[in-house]
Amino acid sequence: MKYYTQLSLVSVLLSSSMPLVAGPLDPPTALGSTNSYTIGDICNRLDTGAAGTQIPFTEPTAAPGSTGCMFNDVMSKAPVADNTNGALINEVLLGNTFWGLRTDGTWGLQTGTLATQTPT
């Protein structure tokens, strides 16, 4: 009898509609008010340091075409960790900024702390 009761309870739960909550479906900002860079801008920044220009997002009207730069290209251009040859902040002159490649707490934009050296 217990088995029959459990089976009928499961079938009742499965056959009843359960409410689902998805959150707001409206975009957080008005269409066309979000500015962003293109993948080409990101590749150019990694290649040459070019500033790029943010443009308003618009819905595509056709299938994607060739951009000349893909996400795999971005990853191949992005810096990689280098704890062997990556500079430490005490190896870069005081006040000079650089991109730290080390994973020991000095990854990312850093400012050097090495005092000016005078040859003797």
Query: Whole-prediction pTM value?
Result: 0.56
- Per-residue pLDDT at 31 exceeds 70: no
Which pLDDT score is estimated for 62?
82
Task: For residue range 65-77, list pLDDT tens digits in order.
Answer: 776 788 899 999 9
Task: For residue range 89-102, list pLDDT tens digits in order.
Answer: 999 999 999 999 99
Q: What is the DSSP string of the chain?
A: -HHHHHHHHHHHHHHS---------S-SS-TT--EE--HHHHHHHHHH------EE----SS-----S--HHHHHHHS----TTTSPPGGGSBTT-EEEEE-SSS-EEEEE--BPPP---
Which pLDDT score is estimated for 89?
95
